[in-house]
Each structure stands twice: as structure tokens, then as C-alpha cells.
Amino acid sequence: MTGHPLTTLPAWQALETHAAALRETHLRDLFAGDPDRFARFSFSLGPLLADYSKNRVTAETMGLLMELARARNVEAGRAAMFAGAHINTTEKRAVLHVALRNRAHRPMTVDGVDVMPEVQATRARLKKFSDDVRHGAWLGATGNPIRHIVNIGIGGSHLGPMFVADALKDHQRADLSVAFVSNPDRAQIDEVLTGLDASATLFVVASKTFTTAETMFNAHLARTWIVEALGEAALPRHFAAISTNRAAAGKFGISKDAVFPMWDWVGGRYSVWSAIGLPVMLACGYEVFDQFLAGAEAMDRHFETASLDQNLPVILAMIGLWHADFLGAAAMAVLPYDYRLKLLPSHLQQVDMESNGKGVMTDGVPAAGNTGPIVFGGGGSDSQHSFYQLLHQGPRMIPCDFIGALKGADGMGPSRDLLLSNMFAQSEALMKGRAAADLASTPLELQPHRSFSGNRPSTTLLLEELTPYTLGMLMALYEHKVFVQGLVWGVNSFDQWGVELGKELATSLEPALNGAALKNRDSSTAGLVAAYLHAKGGAA
């Protein structure tokens, strides 16, 4: 983009020149020319190993990328976040989710006020409440212990805790189930509630304002279910809430002892570290959740203190930016080879695409080229038999993140051998490809179909073992990676105005679906509403 404040930087232009020279270089040649390439382009941080050698980068590439990061004041932006500055400029808010995993209790301030005393007090309340529920001090209205936890939320109040609870399922008690409801389609909540004992069920309603349409619709269905089974007086023993609106939660029937705060300096997609993580604490125990915080805290300290060229979130962020802006990649695939991480792609989809899916910079200037990538993925083993064909032979280059653990839930036996041999082989195949010259015994007419260009980039993240600690490290790594990319692109990674328009239009449309006059709508929307009303009339 001619004259753009980002693309006119000398560091950006140097990368464009470098990309033109490197674009046709094959990864096979980079490995052949450097026997120590893995050692040179991998990074160990405690129980986490990151191999980024299978990306089309050289030492010169990495040096130029770090120059761009410095030119975009990444160090200053990082410091501003940890200092509690209002880096969410459009909403005039601090961005301090790192305070939620600050277990060292060092002061962290917003507008001159140390937030840690309130964070610590909330942690203590969450610990007591989760311990009481798990150990029978908090009973249902009839005196039965709680055996079923149902979280009602949406977006970050749903995806994050659902992913973490699923990933840490090994740490859950067999006699305490956890389920998640987000969809206003009644089919979901009806399915979750089927077979549950109301006298042993605790609902957690997660809504900062206690007005979120989808969440409150499901919360009222749950309320009716409890009242019909146990009576109105039972409500305080069967609901908890995470909300700033204590009055509305109280009016709903929730005890003040079971209402936990949220803060406007924590965005939804970064909130699992807060009281939003209550279902994880209830299912797995507060001690497990504390280790989850500890892993994230370790990544925070690394990100905050390490130099840019020795900083894992920065390294991965700049490689992702290199793919998006200089090599033309519009998407990236997240491919976990551990069944317990199967929901990670959905969580990261929100963390990345809601954060950096922006077309305008913080100063109102249109963004240059690509910003946030399209993030998709799935469990590696199933995905191999689904969309990997496109990754290997499709016309688009799609960088991949392979994620696995050296030790599985069953140790390092045959299942782990099979799993990791496939993960390592897929990244090798994407890198090497297969030339037609290597298919001498294959009929000529089939050689174009059975050859692979290779030269397709990937990064491999290996955990020693999937534990609460390493899960916290992994999630914080991606959060900081996305933040760094937002700093370089100059976008606000912490607002989500694009989400709001659809909500506003839905609110104004809902009366029309109950027969109110429909005004000032396009013919398509009017036609769809008419089709629904016709069906609704027929059903009636």
C-alpha cells in the first residue's frame, strides 16, 4: 500500500526485498545447506520445545523481522500492557489479564490503583466456593451434594473454560460431571439436562452485564427447570454467577456468596484465568487451576523480560507475520496431536480472529495488506483424513502449527508412537514434498497427481507432557503471539466492534419474528422473515 505508515518503514521494505529473493528457495535446500538448522531454529523453554526450522526463514530473515518489531515499538507496547496502560484505545481500557495469573503478588496497577488485592481476594473466594462444592460443604437445597456442573455462557465465557476443562479431564473426579451450554437453540440445553438430577446440579451463569441475550435466555430456561423440580426457594443453592451486575444476579435468585466479579480490563477471550474459570475449578479442583495459572505466569515472565530475538511469543508472532504479509498466506492451521487438545483450534480461532481480524489501525488508517489470518484446524489424526489433502497439494500455502506431547495419558507406549510418528511425518512431508523424478516406477500420466511441491511451512510445539502447567504455558504463548502481531500491524487486539452490529440488528429483528411490523429492511431479510412467519403460522 503506497505511502502507508507501516509499509514505508525501511524495515518493512527490507523484508519485501528479502522475500523476493527467498520466495523461490526450497526448504529442502535450506536443510541441505545447514546440517545444524534444527538447533539454530528451535527454542526450549522449560517443558516446551518449539521447532520453527521448517519455516522458510534464514538468520537474515529473523534479523530483519526483529528490526521490524523494534521499529513498531513492540518492547514499548509490551511494557505498556504490563504497566496497565489503556492500550485498548477504542474502549479506553487497560488490558491486564496477566494480573490474573500473577501469583507472585507483585503490584499491578490500573489508573494508579493496585488491582492485586482484589484479584487475590477473589481467588480466595473462588477457592473456598469450589472447595465447598467439591467437598460437600455447599449442598443442594434438599441436602444432596452437587454432582453436575453446567456452565452457561457464550464466546470467551464458553470456549475458554470448555477447552480447558476438556483438556484437563484426567484431573476431574468421576462423580462430578461438567457440561457447557452456549447455544440458544433449545436442543443443546435440553440434551445437557436430560438425565441430570436437579437436586444435585449447580449452574454457573457467566455474563459480565447479566444481560447477554443468549446466555440469559439459557439461564432462564435453567431457572425454570430448577423451580419446577425444587421450588423457588431452591435457587440460591443451585446457581452461581460471574458478573459485575450483582443486583441483577440477586434479583435472579443467586446468593451474594456465589456471585464473583469480572473486570473491564479483562476481555472475554482472555478471561478463563479469572472467575470465568470457575467450572474448571469445580471440576478439577482449585490446586489444579493454580498450576494452570503458574504455567501461564511462567510464560508471562519470559515474554516480559526476554529480549525480542530470544522471546518465543515474539519469534512465533514475527514468523506468522512473515507468512501473512510477505509470503501471501491468508490462513493458518492448528493441528493438535493429542486428543485432549481437540478443542484448542476453536479457542485459538477466537483468540486470534476476534483480536486481529481488523481492517483499520489504531489511528484510523486502513490496515496494510493482511492482518489476522484465517485460523482453522482440528485434531491431527482425524484431520489427516479430512483436509490435509489441501495442505499438501492445494494451490494455497497454509502454514501449520503441529502441537503434541511427548508423554500421553497412557505414558509413552504404542499409541504415542503411532500418534507422534504421524505428526512428525506430516511436517516432514509438507516440507520435503515429492518430486516427479522420484516416481520413476509410476506411470507418467500419474506422476503429476502423485508428486508434491513441498516447501510448505510448519512449526512444531512439543510439550514434555500435557499438564495444567504446560497447558497454561501454551495458551499464554498464543495470547502473547497475537498481541505482538497486533502491535506490528498497528491494530487494537482487544476490542471487537465487528461483533456488535449483528447483535444490534438481531435485537431489532426479533420483534418482527413475533409479528411486529418490519421496517426499512432489504428484500432478502424481509423475505427470510416472511418465510419464518409463514412456517410459524402453519405450525400454529
In angstroms, rounded to a whole number, what is the distance separating the alpha carbons of residues 181 and 153? 7
Kindly state the DSSP code that residue 301 receives in the 8-state scheme: H
Cα three-residue angle 478-270-383, rounded to 5 degrees = 50
Catalytic residue set:
354, 385, 503
Residue with grid cell 521447532, as numbered in its chain: 51
What is the C-alpha separation between 188 and 372, in angstroms, rounded? 31
Question: Is 290 exposed, middle or buried (CB count within 10 Å of its CB: 0-12, 13-18, 19+)?
Answer: middle
Cα atoms in the 13 Å half-sphere on the side-chain side of 360: 10
CA atoms within a 13 Å half-sphere pointing along the CA-CB vector of 196: 26
Rounded distance between C-alpha atoms, residue 189 and residue 177, angstroms: 15
- 10 Å CB burial of residue 389 (0-12, 13-18, 19+) is exposed
Q: For residue 73, list its beta bridge partners.
A: none
| H or E segment and range at residue 177 | strand 177-181
Q: Which residues contact 125 (CB under 8 A, 6 or more apart)?
A: 260
C-alpha cell belonging to residue 7: 509499509
CA distance 457 to 56: 6
Question: What single DSSP character describes residue 173?
Answer: -
> Distances in Å between the alpha carbon of 482 and those of 58, 132, 270, 493?
22, 37, 12, 8
Rounded to whole angstroms, the Cα distance separating 260 from 242 reads 5
- The grid cell for 169 is 479431564
Q: Which helix (H) or strand (E) holds 302?
A: helix 286-305
In the numeric block, which cell numbers belong to residue 308?
525480542
Amino acid at 357: G
For residue 457, which of 86, 30, 5, 11 has the smallest C-alpha distance?
A: 30
Q: How far is CA 319 from the centre of its chain?
A: 19
Grouping H, G, I as helix, E, B as strand and the rest as coil, residue 88 is: strand
Q: Are 73 and 31 in contact (CB under 8 A)?
A: no
